[in-house]
Structure 1
Amino acid sequence: MGTINNEDRFQLKVLPGQADGEKSIVPQTTYHAAAKVFVQHNTTTDKKMHGGRRAGTMEAHRLAIPQYDIKAGGRWTADRGRMESFYMPSLPSNSAMGMAGSLNKPFYLKRNTVNPSVELQ
């Protein structure tokens, strides 16, 4: 397992300039802190505030974790709402894999079944 160097850490103040830890902060403060992390990693996204939430939801979906378990793990409250509408992948991957006959087995693409013409070799 690797070590964590100082270069790997981010020094972000959660409540910059606030002496009172109970006082709420404006959304722009959180947004700018999240945006700073993306900039430091040379990454662009239009979902800075909830990037981790979306990535976690998509990874859980990729691992075929049932939606009700994803909701429980992410503390989603609505029966049908934001998680399905905004955070879940919009591609019907299970349907596509099922139609291809690969829902419960690995997808395999045959290779080297065609000999290309001499011009393409």
Structure 2
Amino acid sequence: MTGDHVGSPSFEERASKRLKTSPAGNDGAPPDDDTHAKLTLPPEVWANVMQFLPFGDIVSCGAVSRSLLRETMPLLTLLRIDTASQMHLGVASRFRDVTDIHINSLLTEELIDAGGDEVRDI
């Protein structure tokens, strides 16, 4: 038993039907497919959107999408770092055209309640 449901296409059939499209819209739909609607944004728009994302999310986008990594990441000129855990200088050096890095806060404060065992981040 392969784990597929009765009547469902095999893994190979599903894989052969997948469309590989880039977010920049550089790939086309098969010529016989009239149901495929291409809703994509150009790399310049993705770069503008990514300027508002935290650095960790930008790195994740580049990790899951090769076309975002190759087409959009070189267009970024601004990085935003929200926490100290996002401070990866080795990864940040890959963004060659970055001119601004906004570091919002790398400090945390803890409020220790003298009457209890509770520690809260502020």
Using CA pairs below 8 Å that are at least 6 residues apart, which structure has the higher relative contact order?
A: 2
Same fold at TM > 0.5: no
TM-score by length of 1: 0.28
Using the size of structure 2 for normalisation, the TM-score is 0.28
The structure that is strand-richer by fraction is 2
Select the structure that is richer in helix.
Answer: 1
